[in-house]
Amino acid sequence: MSSTIHGRDQIDYVKVGAKRDGTITGLECKAIADFGAFYTLLTPFIPAFTGFVISGCYKIPNLSFTAIGAFTNKMATDATRGAGRPEATHLIEVMMDQLASELDMDPLELRRKNFIPKEDFPAEVAIGIVYDSGDYHGSLDKLLTHVDVDAFRAEQAELRSQGKYRGIGFSTWMEICGLAPSRVVGPSGVGLQAGFYESAIVRVHASGSATVYSGTAPHGQGLDTAFAQIVADRLGTTPDLVDVVHGDTGTGPFGLGTYGSRSLAVGGESIARATAKVVDKAKKIVAHQLEAAPEDIELEDGKFAVKGSPDKGMTLAEVAGAAYIPENLPEGMEPGLEETMFYDPENFVFPFGAHACIVDVDAETGKIDIVRYVAVDDCGPAINPTLIDGQIHGGITHAIGQALYERIHYDEDGQLVTGTFVDYALPSAADVPSFETDRTETPSPVNSLGVKGVGEAGTIAASPAIVNAVIDALRPLGVDYIDMPLSPQNVWAKIENAKGAGVPPDPGKQGGSWDEHGSGSAGSGPTGPDEGGSL
């Protein structure tokens, strides 16, 4: 805890301009990022990533984003699940609710009014990034098939009359992932000293089984399964006959690894492209053997065959046999059946979704109970829905940790006091609800799979839904803003202070005024409009 990187630790001061009808005209954000004592892998890149998606899902014609890095005597901050985008989503989505309240508008109506419409994609936003594809209305529509907001409001009113505080919060989120086009992120772009392509070798053995070498390095995401599915689907075999090997540049091609929700959109795409090369060669072999044209060969029911004559086709094993015992290959063709692909994407990919969270707040103690969490996410066509759900579940749990529990705290003497998991409150399965998930599938034009990353999505999406829900619950008590983490004492102090009680927040409070920024603990989240300094 003391010697590995810390995450988040941004203080974001946000100004938004909007017309009375809710049309947003501009956004200005000044971010102060606590870098810690020195740079590690990506330290200064994290607030830059916040800036990349500062528009969120919205048409915002005028934008200003300034990031200031502050060196402190703490451990360095760096990328943890989301890396700059959770900060962006949080400030935008909490701000949308603040603006809706200010304009006395429904927060979903405000969002819909400003969504980038489906027909505008690919959509360039003011910061200069081009979003690949999106259907933000569709995502919210799907969410609302699961969440009846009118019924909720009636229930909320009934509960309030009994002195119970239930709230609903939304996050219509998007993010940028699939790292990355090397020319954008590399030395002459953002300035990272590396390429960001991914690599794959697809080797079909003489038996017809296959081994895939990936430059990514999955560590529990289940990518072996997804990669095997991609290859098996394209070669007319089954995933159990496809071995996936990764994490060893001694056997596989040079790759960049698993991070930045890139393994499928970049690594998986390189595998798909290598497989396509194998398929091309297989078709040539089959065409030669069947005395047909390669373009007439199709893969159907596990056989490469001439269109319309499936009975005369060849299985992958038969094709591989012909390739490895090269008695009858087309003129000039090399024996063997394996291909290598290095793939450098043309653009990032931009997943999105709509989340809703319902919470009960114990107004006497400040304790929050998440009653319901519904997530509709869009990461393009689903290759493995179970793996997607797993990532979303873990991601939301991670965000619940950020919103309600987790905080690195140094005391006034600079001593780390959250050095173990006793003091650093990481939520367990017992602390989170059962998540309800659903999907929309909007393909990305960036890669042939149409996929977008999903590994960080839940974490990027969820914290504002939770915080907005708590604020929604407590508005009748005069609470309109709370900094994360929403520990019981922080929430209780907010409620008491809204009554004019003058209760200090808990000792780990971060943020504060412009002049005092950075004191207190790490964590994340913007400083409240009631306590922030001027821009």
Chain residues that interact with other proteins, rule: CB under 8 A: 364-365, 367, 405, 409, 417-418, 420, 423, 425, 427-428, 430-431, 487-489, 492-493, 503-504, 506-508
Strands (E), 125-186: 130-131, 165-174
Closest contact distance (angstroms) between CB of 472 and other proteins is 22
Minimum CB separation of residue 394 from other proteins in Å reads 17
Measured from the CB atom, is 148 or 369 closer to other proteins?
A: 369
Minimum Å gap between C-beta 356 and other proteins is 23
Contact (CB, 8 A) for 378 and 351: yes
Burial profile 244-266: b = 16 or more Cβ within 10 angstroms, e = fewer: bebbeeeebbebbbbbbbbbbbb
Are residues 54 and 21 in contact, defined by beta-carbon separation less than 8 angstroms?
no
Residue 401 CB, nearest approach to other proteins (Å): 10
Are 460 and 402 in contact by the 8 Å Cβ rule? The answer is no
Query: Of 73 and 420, which CB lies nearer to other proteins in the complex structure?
Result: 420
Triad 525, 428, 436: Cα angle to 5° = 80
Which residue, 211 or 489, has its beta carbon nearer to other proteins?
A: 489
Q: Any idea which residue has 């989170």 for tokens?
A: 432
Q: Which CB sits closer to other proteins, 280 or 423?
A: 423
Quick one: 276 or 432, whose CB is closer to other proteins?
432
Signed CA dihedral, 52, 55, 60, 65: sign only = negative
Q: Smaller CB distance to other proteins: residue 30 or 409?
A: 409
Measured CA to CA, the distance from residue 391 to residue 204 in angstroms comes to: 30
Least CB distance from residue 425 to other proteins, whole Å? 5
What's the alpha-carbon Rg for the chain, to the nearest Å? 26
Q: Which is nearer to other proteins, 129 or 486 (CB)?
A: 486
Give least dist CB 483 to other proteins, A. 15
Q: Kindly write down the DSSP assignment for every residue of 395-427, as one continuous string.
A: HHHHHHIIIII----B-TTS-B---STTTS---
C-beta of 353: minimal distance to other proteins in Å?
Answer: 27
Q: Nearest CA to 460 among 111, 39, 135, 53? A: 53
